[in-house]
Structure formats: structure tokens, C-alpha cells
Structure 1
Amino acid sequence: MAKAKQLEVLNALDVAKTQWYHFTAIIIAGMGFFTDAYDLFSISLVTKLLGRLYYTHPNPTHPGTLPINVSAAVNGVALCGTLAGQLFFGWLGDKLGRKKVYGLTLVMMVFASLASGLSFGHTAKSVMTTLCFFRFWLGFGIGGDYPLSATIMSEYANKKTRGAFIAAVFAMQGVGILVSGVVSLIVSSGFEARFKPPSFEEDPAGSLTPEADYIWRVILMFGAFPAGATYYYRMQMPETARYTALVAQNAKLAAADMSKVLQTDIGADEDRLADIVKDKKQQFGLFSKEFARIYGLRLIGTTTTWFLLDIAFYSQNLFQKDIFTSIGWIPKASKMSAIREVYKVARAQTLIALCGTVPGYWFTVALIDVIGRWIIQLMGFLMMTIFMFAIAFPYNYWSQREHRIGFIVMYGLTFFFANFGPNATTFVVPAEVFPARLRSTCHGISAAAGKAGAIVGAFGFVYASQEKDPAKRDAGYPAGIGKKNSLIVLGVINFIGMLFTFLVPEAKGLSLEEAANENQEEEVTDERNNNANVSSV
């Protein structure tokens, strides 16, 4: 096997000590992920309020609820946009460069966040339609942030702490989830203190004050501001050296950009770059046999594990309010005003995020370069399987009042091991194990597979988790398999994800070129040259 050649600028990045520019890149890229998570998960905090505001319940003694199809659309349409954005911007990031399209994704997120809160219409259907329209484009911008942020951070980082840096960007998702809960708590408690609405049982009409319509709008719009604050700094980041040198083939500009970043002189290595790309025709594409031979199994591994993980992860996040209601931790809607219900749902999500979700992310940041990506992902899937089964099989036991705290602890642990596990590693690994010219595209494909799983979770779980209630069925609600059986299914999915983890390579301690096996390309070229020489003899 021919030894892979390494440019001086890339070697300088690989061995660079942790510097301020690393943390700057984490903050700039991470703020996009903060917005991603805030926007994707804040909708679950206000869907019950939307139901009360715009729809009446079939049973007049109950508060209004979103029809099952509208609930699925409101929760899932942003995920559909995210999937499309991951594929499109992932491909575009390899064609035009990471930086050129990085700002566009942020602008889309800011605009669509504000527009979502300004959704308009004269009827419930028209308001939900415009909300879904803007949330699709919000998701489209969010989708672009996945491959671009991961790729930029991986190409800026050194090989010793690269996993921690990429994971730290992704950990901002946990902060976004937490802040969405905190903002909802502040907004709902402020409105409640001002208007003091009674519960639905006490006064059905008075429990839904006109001012409640502002609550969901303020919550959705808030996500635009942290992202907008980082736009200028995102545009000041230079293009990554690996794209400039290996894809754009401009070693001089790559060296100049990174000399400013690292504050040291770096040689241009134009002659060495010419040697690396001299056989450019042999740089195979995504749909070639060579790609399938070298990278096919790892692409199957990254896409499949992300797909399976997101079925479980998004199902749990988007519908945890329904599970908490079913075990009695959140009171029945009829016992509360509309504003109070937002507060209760937000409090539950905030507690789970604070105790399980956020710590899991930062455990990954601390340990990913110590014990490796593969072990963390395998362990995470295994523990998620165990805890999911532990709350699913004795579901009736956990639903009893005296056991609810135990249920919440077990449920929180599934979130902890999702984030100290595959939810983080499925984001990190695709940014490391594919060649530079296809890195953003392959990460986008892997992430899009994940969002396909999220869509299955968002649309499928909302139907599957419906209890077999004849009264609901007669009123037009579908009969599902119930929450207990749905949780069992999610446990099985986690177990299958653990099995597919065996297709995922380990990248700990390797340079991106080593982790991506890019020297295999030289091996292919050498073999062909040798065969040609033998034939000529």
C-alpha cells in the first residue's frame, strides 16, 4: 500500500495545540445547532396549546386538541425539510465550499423562525398550513447546518481532540432543548401571572384567554435571535484548509488562511499537492465501484445507525408530553388552564433535559477521545435498549402514582445514554471517515437517513402510541398499539442499532486522511499502473 502524502498545512492542523480559534469555531458552529434543537423541539411544547386555541374536542367536556393528522404534520414537517436540506447542502458544501453556503443556512433559519411565529390565516386550517410551510423551510436551513458544521469543525480540529470538538458542537443541541424549556417556562409563567386564567373545569371559556395566542408565537420566534447574533462571525471564518487544498487544489491559499488562524508560518507545499492530485482522473465519485468497495460498508453503517437512533430519539422527545400525561406526572388538560398546561409540559421537558439530556452530551465530549466513538455508540445503544425495556414491560407498574418518580428516572436515563451514546457519535463519525471531496455529501446522506428515522418516529409514533380506546375510535381517532407496546418497539429498534454499529469504523487518534482511508486511492492507482506495466512487458 502506498503511503499517503500529507501537506504541511494539514499536518500543522493535526498536531496543533488547543487554541482560542478552536473554541471560537465551536461557539460559531454550535450556535447553529442551538437554533436547530430549539426550533425542532420547542414545537412539542406548544402543540397542546395550538389544539386548545384552534380546535374543539369531539367531547365538549374536554379542552380542544389537534387532530391526529395535524399534530403529525406540525411536529414532522420541519423534519421533512431537514432531510431535504441535509442532502442538498451536503452536496453543495462539497461543490462550492463549506463557507460559501454556511451563511445561507443560518439566514434561512433566522427568517423561518421569525416567520413561524407570524403564521397567519382566518381559519384554523390556514394558520396550521402557513405554520407548516414556514417550518418546512426552517427545517431546510437546519438540514444544511448538519453536514456543514460537522465538516467544518472536523477539518479545523487537531487529531488528538477532534472528536471532543465535533461533539461539543453537537452538544449545543442539548443546550437548545434546555433553553426551549426555560423560555417556555418564563413566557408561560409571565402570562399566567398577568392574566390568572381559571382551569378548564372551573370555566371552559375563561381558561383560554385571547392572549394565549401570543405565547406559542413568542416561544417559536425566540430561536432566531441567538443564531442571528453569530452570522457576522460565521462569515469571517476562512474556508477550511482541507477543502481549499484537497478539493479546490489551492495549497497556497490554504497555507495563507491557516497561517493566520494558527499564527505561524506554513509552507504552501504546491509541489507535494501536485503529486497528490497528479492522477486526478482516478479520484472516484460517490456512485463508483471503488467508492462502494472502500466506503460502502461504512456508509451503510453510518446511515443505518443514525436512522434507527432517530426513530427512538425523536419519538421520545416529541411525544414525552403524552407519556408524562399518561403516567399522571402532568395533570389532565381539564384540570388546568391553557397557559398552565404550557408551563407544566415545559417543566417536564426542562427537568429531563437538565438531568438526562444535557449531561449525556457533555459526557461524550469528555470521553470520546479517551474511550473512542465505537465503544460509546455500542454502549449507548445497549443501555437505551435495557432502559427502554425496563420501563416498557412493567408500564402499568410505573403508571401508578407511587412509582412515577422511578419511571421519570428510568426515562431520563434513556435520554442520558442516547446522548452519551449514538445521538452524539452518529453525528461525529461521518465527518471523519469519508474523503474530503465527499465528506460533506456523505455526512448529509447519513444525517438525512437519520431524519428519515425521525420522520418515522414523528409520524409513526403519534399514531402507534394511541391507546385502543373505543370512544376515541368512534370519534375518528386511529386505534394504535398503545404507549407500552410502542416503547417495546423502540427498545427493539435500539438493539438493532447496536448490531449495525459493528459496521462503523473507529477514528480515534487518526488524522482525517488516515480515518478516511484516502491512501486507498493511491493504492488503486498503483495497482492499475502495475497492471499496465505488466501488460506492456
Structure 2
Amino acid sequence: MAREQLGVLSALDSAKTQWYHFTAIIIAGMGFFTDAYDLFCIPNVTKLLGRIYYTHPNSLKPGTLPPNVSAAVNGVALCGTLAGQLFFGWLGDKMGRKKVYGLTLALMVFSSLASGLSFGHSAKGTIATLCFFRFWLGFGIGGDYPLSATIMSEYANKKTRGAFIASVFAMQGFGILAGGIVSLVVSTAFDHAYKAPAYKVDAAASLVPEADYVWRIILMFGAVPAGLTYYWRMKMPETARYTALVAKNAKQAAQDMSMVLQVEIEAEQEKVEKIGVREQNSFGLFSKEFLRRHGLHLLGTTSTWFLLDIAYYSSNLFQKDIYSSIGWLPPAEDMNAIHEVFKVARATTLIALCGTVPGYWFTVAFIDIVGRFAIQIMGFFFMTVFMFALALPYHHWTKKENRVGFLVMYAMTFFFANFGPNSTTFVVPAEIFPARLRSTCHGISSAAGKAGAIIGAFGFLYASQSKDPKKRDAGYPAGIGMKNTLILLAVVNCLGIFFTFLVPEANGKSLEEMSGENEEEGDDAVSVDPQASSTRTVPV
């Protein structure tokens, strides 16, 4: 039997959409804007890094990053993100969301600047320093995932909660787009200023000394949006759900939310203390009771995020390799170093505009109408379809006259990733777990995603290499080829469809209904059957 809800939480659940909702979206979302910029701007400059630090002085061929170095530069931030998600997710439940929130942003600002200032006595020293600071950049980014999602879910009303959380995550699309635009602007400015010729014209002059500034400026720009947001994050009050249900301070929760909602809310300390007595012996994360109530839910959120990120990060981090393999980017010998940055950034910006950004906002528009389950199933399904459509007739797409068709279908995989599991896997873990474990469980779920991203980043690099030793890049082991790699990613997406059935539907339910926190002692937790209507409940 459900017990009476606290007044402050009922007020939040039933609150009309107000200005504070939008300010919370912007404040939390700017963190994700920065996250996406920092994670996805690196593909725009990796080819430039290869030219600057790995071109032989007497060679007419531009240098490239060795495979192990390329994997490290692309993947080290993901390793830091995974560690940050676990650590800050746990810390957010122990210390409170707000106390930890500013720390992650400060770490991101410092590491963005330090990444751009990476120096060394040799190429190895510079790259090692860059990787060191990008790990800590990823560590700060990792903390933003569970904290932003949890804060937004605990601020939102239950009617439009999905759209609010998805809006925070949708800022990632603008971050990816900004990474492309900044790369375009910086590379254009330097290319026009110095007019370096292509390698075929002059091998030495094609890499002007100022090229070293290009990648540094692009990486350091990530500190700007994070720095601008820091003050407003520090001004945000702690969420009422943490203050009341975890910290057990009804007066502070009522005071904070009265100010936010601009209504009078009674402090129900007696009710909060009763909840505290009941929860003194509450189950922990590593308990049989948690396993019984939420074990399958956590398996569902971790597995779907893991599978999604294998495909999503493979496609995103190695767009430049896919473009080169179909001939959309000209050979490196035909471009100077800075112009190559421009070409890669132009391609990623076009895909972001046509597929990535619209997909996020379609989720925002429809998530509270059709529900999380339907969007996730649909997204995985169409990602599978389009990936197979790219892979099976792969040699058809490599012909010059068919490249536009390839890019359209490739953009559609990003559209349905974002109007699908890339958004919903972020939303759902913030809605279905108890307040005292919410940030931790979101951190575990997102860390599983980053484990998939690491597999995608390192695995794609090697798997996509040609099976023919004569055709593959020097120093790379023979892979399974681009076509078979795309088939493998399609299969991964297909598996995501089946694991989605473990994830409950949270549409229209309060956080306490989903987590079972409003149930009396001895009652089973309540969850929603993802295949049923929003009113049907089943015991877990």
C-alpha cells in the first residue's frame, strides 16, 4: 500500500512548467555541451597531430599517428569518463548533488586548458602529456552524467520529466556541432593567413609552424562554456528529494523549493523522520533486496547503454576514417595540414546538422507522448536497418556517384541513435532507482556505456582495417575490413532491442512510484510493464 507523499515532493511532481525548469536545463545542459565538445572535437585534430609529430623530415608523404597512439588519443578520455561516472555517481549520493556538481565543472575547465598547453621535449612527450590531461578531462566529464541527470529528474514535474532530462542531454548535439564549427573557423583563419600548399606541391611548406596552434586552440575552447556556467551551478539549491529523503532535512527542502516554485510549502519534519526510521535498515546496492527489486532494471540500463555506445562512439570518433574509405575526403597528399582539419570538420558538421542535432530534439518532443520504451526500441531497430543497409552493399556506396546516398543513410543512423537509445539510456536510470542510490546507479549505467565506447573506440580502429595486408596502413594488424565492421555494429544494435525489454517504462509516474519509495514496509516495489499502458503495474 502506498504511503502519503511528502508535500514538497508532491508540489514538484505537479508543478507547472516554470522559468526555473528552463534555467536548470541550461545550467545542467551547458555541462553536456562542454562534455560533447571535449569528447568529439578530438577526431577533428588527430590527423593534424599525426602530420605535426610523426612526419619524417625527408618524406613526401604526410605522417599519421601510429595505431597505438591513435587509440590512446581517441580513447583515453573515455577511460577517464568511465572512472568519473563511477566515482562521482557514488559521491553524489554520499555528499549531495550540488556539492559535487561544481567540482566536476572546475576539473573540466582546468583539464581543457591543460590539454591545449601540452608540451614535451619530443613527440612522445607531448602526446603523453595530452593523454594525461585528457584522462582527467574525461574524469570530470564522467561526473556530469549522473549528477546532471539526477538533478534534472529531481527538479522536474512528472508530466514533462522525460522532456526536461532529454533536453539536458540534447545539448550534447550542440556541443558536437560546436566542435565542428570551431574547427572550421580556426582552420579557415590559419589556412587563409598562411596559404600553405599541398604536399604534392611542397612537402616542407605544407606544414607551417603555426599549424601547432590550431589543435591547441580547438581543445582549449572547451574551457569557455564550462567556465561561464560555473557560477550558476554554485547558485543552484540542492534538490528537495536529496535534502528530504537522504539528508532528512524537511525544513531546508521546503525552504529551497518554496523559493524555486514561488509558493509556500510546509516543512514536514515529522513525516521525514518517520521515513528515516523506516529506512534505517533499508537495502543497499549490494543486497539481495536491491537485486530482487531493481536487479533486472540495472541489468537493462547497463546492457542497453553498453551496446548502444559500442556502435555510437565507433561511428562518431572514426567518422574521418569512414569518409576516407568511401572517398569523400581526398587523399592526405592532396591537402595541406590545416586544410585537412577543415575538410574533416566540414564533414562532421554536416552530419551533426542533418542527423545528430535533430534526433536529440525529436526525443525531447515525443518522449512524454510515446514513452521511453517505444523510442528506444524504434531507435535500435532503425539503427540496425540503416547499418545493414550501409554494410551489405558497401562496395556500391564506395562508387563516386553513390557517396551522397551513403552520407544520407549514415546521417540517419545518427538521427535514430539520438531519437532513440542514445537519449533514453540517459533518461531512464535517473527515474527508476531510489533517491539514496539514484546517482550511483546512473553512474554504473553510464560507466557501462563508456565501457562499450572504449571497446568501440579501440576495436573499430583495428577491425576496420583492410583484410589485405598490401592495402592496410603500415603498422596496423589486418582487421576484418570496413564492411564487416559495419555488419558487426548492426548486430550489436540488434541485441540492444532485446535487452530493452528489461527496462521499465517511467512515463507519467513519480520517481517514488518507480523506485518503490512510497510503498509501506513489506510491499513489493512497483514498476511499469514496458509493453503495457502507463496505468498497468506489475510486481518486481
TM-score strictly above 0.5: yes
Q: In the alignment, which residue of structure 1 is the partner of 2:268?
A: 269
Contact 1:282 1:521 survives alignment (8 Å)? no
Q: Does 1:163 align with 2:176?
A: no
Q: Residue type of the partner of 1:468?
A: K
Distance 2:178 2:290 in 1: 41
Q: 1:385-412 CA deviation, whole Å, 9 max, x = no partner?
A: 0000000010100000000000000000
Distance apart, 1:516 and its partner CA: 1.6
Q: Does 1:84 align with 2:83?
A: yes
Q: In the alignment, which residue of structure 2 is the partner of 1:429?
A: 428
Q: In the alignment, which residue of structure 2 is the partner of 1:205?
A: 204
Distance apart, 1:283 and its partner CA: 1.1
Q: Does the C-alpha gap of structure 1 residues 171 and 57 become closer, same or farther in structure 2, counting only changes over 3 Å?
A: farther
Q: Residue type of the partner of 1:437?
A: R
Distance apart, 1:223 and its partner CA: 0.8
Give 1:108-119 correspondences, 5 Å limit.
Answer: 108-119=107-118
Q: Residue type of the partner of 2:478?
A: A
Distance 1:525 1:488 in 2: 42
- Secondary structure of the structure 2 residue equivalent to 1:278: helix
Distance apart, 1:477 and its partner CA: 1.8
Distance 1:474 1:419 in 2: 32
Q: In the alignment, which residue of structure 1 is the partner of 2:141?
A: 142
- Secondary structure of the structure 1 residue equivalent to 2:267: coil
Distance 2:287 2:331 in 1: 56
Distance apart, 1:416 and its partner CA: 0.1
Runs of at least 4 residues of structure 1 off by over 4 A?
none
Distance 1:203 1:334 in 2: 10
Q: In the alignment, which residue of structure 2 is the partner of 1:6?
A: 5
Q: Does the C-alpha gap of structure 1 residues 433 and 59 become closer, same or farther in structure 2, counting only changes over 3 Å?
A: farther
Q: Does 1:35 align with 2:56?
A: no
Distance apart, 1:234 and its partner CA: 0.3
Q: In the alignment, which residue of structure 2 is the partner of 1:466?
A: 465
Distance 1:141 1:16 in 2: 32
Contact 2:25 2:164 survives alignment (8 Å)? yes
Q: Does the C-alpha gap of structure 1 residues 58 and 191 become closer, same or farther in structure 2, counting only changes over 3 Å?
A: closer
Q: Does the C-alpha gap of structure 1 residues 474 and 394 become closer, same or farther in structure 2, counting only changes over 3 Å?
A: closer
Q: In the alignment, which residue of structure 1 is the partner of 2:502?
A: 503
Distance apart, 1:204 and its partner CA: 1.0
Q: In the alignment, which residue of structure 1 is the partner of 2:132?
A: 133
Contact 1:246 1:436 survives alignment (8 Å)? yes
Structure 2 gap ranges (5+): 526-540
Q: In the alignment, which residue of structure 2 is the partner of 1:73?
A: 72
Distance 1:433 1:371 in 2: 18
- Secondary structure of the structure 2 residue equivalent to 1:279: helix
Q: Does the C-alpha gap of structure 1 residues 283 and 58 become closer, same or farther in structure 2, counting only changes over 3 Å?
A: farther
- Secondary structure of the structure 2 residue equivalent to 1:470: coil
Q: Residue type of the partner of 2:174?
A: V
Distance 1:429 1:523 in 2: 25
Q: Does 1:399 align with 2:401?
A: no
Which one has a larger percent helix, Structure 1 or Structure 2? 1
Distance 2:57 2:493 in 1: 36
- Secondary structure of the structure 2 residue equivalent to 1:17: coil
Q: In the alignment, which residue of structure 1 is the partner of 2:325?
A: 326
Q: In the alignment, which residue of structure 2 is the partner of 1:384?
A: 383
- Secondary structure of the structure 1 residue equivalent to 2:264: coil
Distance apart, 1:56 and its partner CA: 2.7
Distance 2:192 2:57 in 1: 30
Contact 1:57 1:65 survives alignment (8 Å)? no
- Secondary structure of the structure 1 residue equivalent to 2:470: helix
Distance 1:100 1:212 in 2: 40
Distance 1:125 1:273 in 2: 57
Give 1:411-430 correspondences, 5 Å limit.
Answer: 411-430=410-429
Identity among equivalent positions (%) equals 74
Q: In the alignment, which residue of structure 1 is the partner of 2:533?
A: none
Contact 1:40 1:78 survives alignment (8 Å)? yes
Contact 1:32 1:145 survives alignment (8 Å)? yes
Distance 2:376 2:300 in 1: 12
Q: Does the C-alpha gap of structure 1 residues 355 and 271 become closer, same or farther in structure 2, counting only changes over 3 Å?
A: same
Distance apart, 1:11 and its partner CA: 0.3
Distance 1:207 1:473 in 2: 25
Distance apart, 1:525 and its partner CA: 9.5
Q: 1:261-293 CA deviation, whole Å, 9 max, x = no partner?
A: 001100111222223222223311000000000
Q: Residue type of the partner of 2:461?
A: V
Q: Does the C-alpha gap of structure 1 residues 209 and 263 become closer, same or farther in structure 2, counting only changes over 3 Å?
A: same
Number of equivalences:
525
Distance 2:62 2:216 in 1: 20
Q: Residue type of the partner of 2:467?
A: K
Q: Does the C-alpha gap of structure 1 residues 247 and 489 become closer, same or farther in structure 2, counting only changes over 3 Å?
A: same
Q: 1:301-331 CA deviation, whole Å, 9 max, x = no partner?
A: 0000000000000000000110001111111
Give the CA RMSD over aligned residues.
1.4
- Secondary structure of the structure 2 residue equivalent to 1:506: coil
- Does 429-438 or 328-337 show the bigger shift? 328-337
- Secondary structure of the structure 1 residue equivalent to 2:176: helix
Q: Does the C-alpha gap of structure 1 residues 325 and 231 become closer, same or farther in structure 2, counting only changes over 3 Å?
A: same
Distance apart, 1:520 and its partner CA: 4.9
Distance 2:354 2:434 in 1: 38
- Secondary structure of the structure 2 residue equivalent to 1:230: helix
Give 1:59-70 correspondences, 5 Å limit.
Answer: 60-70=59-69
Distance 1:58 1:171 in 2: 44
Distance 1:32 1:144 in 2: 10
Distance 2:237 2:280 in 1: 28
Structure 1 gap ranges (5+): 527-537
Give 1:130-529 correspondences, 5 Å limit.
Answer: 130-471=129-470, 475-520=474-519, 522-524=521-523
Q: Does the C-alpha gap of structure 1 residues 155 and 466 become closer, same or farther in structure 2, counting only changes over 3 Å?
A: same
Distance 2:519 2:295 in 1: 14
Contact 1:4 1:522 survives alignment (8 Å)? no
Q: Does the C-alpha gap of structure 1 residues 475 and 57 become closer, same or farther in structure 2, counting only changes over 3 Å?
A: farther
Q: Does the C-alpha gap of structure 1 residues 323 and 148 become closer, same or farther in structure 2, counting only changes over 3 Å?
A: same
Q: Residue type of the partner of 1:128?
A: I
Distance apart, 1:369 and its partner CA: 0.3
Q: Does the C-alpha gap of structure 1 residues 178 and 53 become closer, same or farther in structure 2, counting only changes over 3 Å?
A: same
Q: Residue type of the partner of 1:456?
A: I
Q: Does the C-alpha gap of structure 1 residues 486 and 473 become closer, same or farther in structure 2, counting only changes over 3 Å?
A: closer
- Does 305-314 or 470-479 show the bigger shift? 470-479
Distance 2:426 2:120 in 1: 38
Q: Residue type of the partner of 1:317?
A: N
Distance 1:118 1:272 in 2: 54
Q: Residue type of the partner of 2:88?
A: F
Distance apart, 1:61 and its partner CA: 4.2
Normalised to the residue count of structure 1, the TM-score between the two structures is: 0.96
Q: Does the C-alpha gap of structure 1 residues 473 and 375 become closer, same or farther in structure 2, counting only changes over 3 Å?
A: closer
Distance apart, 1:430 and its partner CA: 0.2
Contact 2:34 2:225 survives alignment (8 Å)? yes
Distance 2:368 2:284 in 1: 31
Distance 1:425 1:58 in 2: 49
- Does 29-38 or 196-205 show the bigger shift? 196-205
Distance 1:170 1:28 in 2: 12
Contact 1:465 1:480 survives alignment (8 Å)? yes
- Does 468-477 or 159-168 show the bigger shift? 468-477
Distance 1:59 1:371 in 2: 61
- Secondary structure of the structure 2 residue equivalent to 1:439: helix
Q: Does the C-alpha gap of structure 1 residues 440 and 467 become closer, same or farther in structure 2, counting only changes over 3 Å?
A: same
